[in-house]
Amino acid sequence: MKTKYLLLIGLALAMAVVLGGCATGLSASSWPGVTADATNAYIAGGPYVYAVNLQTGVEVWRYPAKAATATPYYATPVLTPDGQLIVGSFDHKLYSLNPQSGAQNWVFDQARDRWIGGVLVTSEGIYATNADYNLYALTFTGTLKWVSPFQADQAIWGSPVSDGTNIYFGTLGRKVYAVNAQTGKQVWVKAVDGAILGSPVLGPNNTLYVGTYGDALVSLNTSNGSIVKQETASSWIWSGPVQDGTNIYVGDGNGMLYAFPMTDTGQPWTQQLGGAIVGSPLVNGKTIIIGTELGNIYFIDNTGQNLRPISITGKIYASPVAAGTLILVAPTSGDNTLVALDLNGVTKWSFKAK
């Protein structure tokens, strides 16, 4: 009898440990967010935000000094014009850090869910979308200016964008919202065919582009939300599209990279890459750079020609980031936390968080 109950109690405790592990399984939560200034790269990579020197690849600081498992950072960090680094956490808090030292400036703690996308910084302040269905407008000192007076229909994972008048964002509930940048009041809302996981991008002629989990790239008129055009992909589109003034580029779950013309001068093309494309492509001059789940980074001319694959250990879900003459790539479950390539795809340094 005693053995039986001891066994049950032991299994119950084991259950507590395993369930605890499930709940805080950081590796399954998301993938790193990366940004850079002229001096450092900044990586929100699980329990820490790291600053890494761009010249040497050596860690400059990490925040917090001691990791808390319940506080993983994955949202892309964003730099403000007044010298702050803003990064959201899964602990529902938005942090402002000093990019030079990693010291905490302020914390905004009024949101009720995870910060998954990076914030939008304009001259007016900080606009931040949260998985609690709300858009928050903050001053540069972290004071709440307003929270949108309506709730979106579902969680917001992507960063918002702005044309100066309105703020635009998509939701997991398959809707695109335009809200007034001054008041947060809803200007229009438009339903699309699939969940929107990434950020929208603004194009010419008052057009807003969103990629959907329902295999489509949708363009909408920013003045009223009407759908202008819908392009079909071969699979889900995860992160937001990017544009270079001529074409709009987006990848899908089957590893197809698409270029859709935004203007009459653009030429459409597609390229089949190896592995699903989760992150957004990077437009770097006349080169498009994109990572795939199989651990390949592809450099390709913006005409769709001259494909150059570079192999990196790990899965690449995060979008590549340009930092001067370097391309920064943050692989997931690879040997390194951050890899810096030159424009020919040669590794200059790699950083592994300890």
Q: Is 17 in the site for another protein (CB under 8 A)?
A: no
Query: Distance between CA 339 and CA 331 in Å, rounded?
Result: 8
Nearest to 95 by CA among 131, 59, 70, 119: 119
Q: Which stretch binds another protein (CB under 8 A): 159-167, 183-191, 193-201, 263-271?
A: 193-201
Q: In a 10 Å sphere around its CB, with 0-12 CB exposed, 13-18 middle and 19+ buried, how is residue 152 labelled?
A: buried
Query: Distance between CA 73 and CA 93 in Å, rounded?
Result: 10
- 275: its two tokens: 């592995």
Query: Distance between CA 49 and CA 67 in Å, rounded?
Result: 10
In angstroms, give the least distance from the CB of 130 to another protein. Answer: 13
Q: Which of 79, 113, 145, 271 binds another protein (CB under 8 A)?
A: 113
- Classify the C-alpha dihedral 245-216-31-73 as positive or negative: positive
Q: Which of 67, 79, 102, 213 binds another protein (CB under 8 A)?
A: 213
Cross-strand pairs, 94: 88, 108
In angstroms, give the least distance from the CB of 246 to another protein. Answer: 30
3-state class of 22 per DSSP?
helix
In angstroms, give the least distance from the CB of 297 to another protein. Answer: 19
Helices (H), the chain: 2-23
Query: Distance between CA 284 and CA 329 in Å, rounded?
Result: 14
Name the amino acid, one letter, at 168.
Y
Q: Which of 173, 266, 309, 345 binds another protein (CB under 8 A)?
A: 173
In angstroms, give the least distance from the CB of 74 to another protein. Answer: 8
Pairing of strands 135-138, 144-147: antiparallel
Q: Which stretch binds another protein (CB under 8 A): 17-25, 178-186, 262-270, 295-303?
A: 17-25
Name the amino acid, one letter, at 123.
S
- 315: its two tokens: 């899965």
Q: Which of 168, 299, 317, 351 binds another protein (CB under 8 A)?
A: 317
C-beta of 57 vs 160, nearer to another protein? 160
Total binding residues toward another protein, as defined by CB under 8 A:
44
C-beta of 31 vs 260, nearer to another protein? 31
Q: Which stretch binds another protein (CB under 8 A): 10-18, 136-144, 183-191, 299-307?
A: 10-18
In angstroms, give the least distance from the CB of 4 to another protein. Answer: 4
Q: Which stretch binds another protein (CB under 8 A): 53-61, 135-143, 153-161, 176-184?
A: 153-161
Name the amino acid, one letter, at 37.
D
Nearest to 351 by CA among 48, 29, 100: 48
Q: Is 277 in the site for another protein (CB under 8 A)?
A: no
Q: Is 172 in the site for another protein (CB under 8 A)?
A: yes
Q: Is 249 in the site for another protein (CB under 8 A)?
A: no
Q: Over the range 331-353, which residues count as b (16 or more CB within 10 Å of their CB) and which as e?
A: bbebebbbbbbeeebeeebbbeb
Q: Is 298 in the site for another protein (CB under 8 A)?
A: no
Please give the residues from 27 up to 66 whose contact with another protein meets the rule CB under 8 A. 27-31
In angstroms, give the least distance from the CB of 116 to another protein. Answer: 6
Q: Which of 54, 137, 262, 278 binds another protein (CB under 8 A)?
A: 278
Whether 203 and 243 have beta carbons less than 8 Å apart is answered as yes
Name the amino acid, one letter, at 7.
L
Q: Is 68 in the site for another protein (CB under 8 A)?
A: no
Residues found near another protein in the complex (CB under 8 A): 1-5, 7-9, 11-12, 14-16, 18-20, 22-23, 27-31, 74, 90, 113-114, 116, 131, 154-155, 157, 172-173, 194-195, 197, 213-215, 236, 253, 278, 317
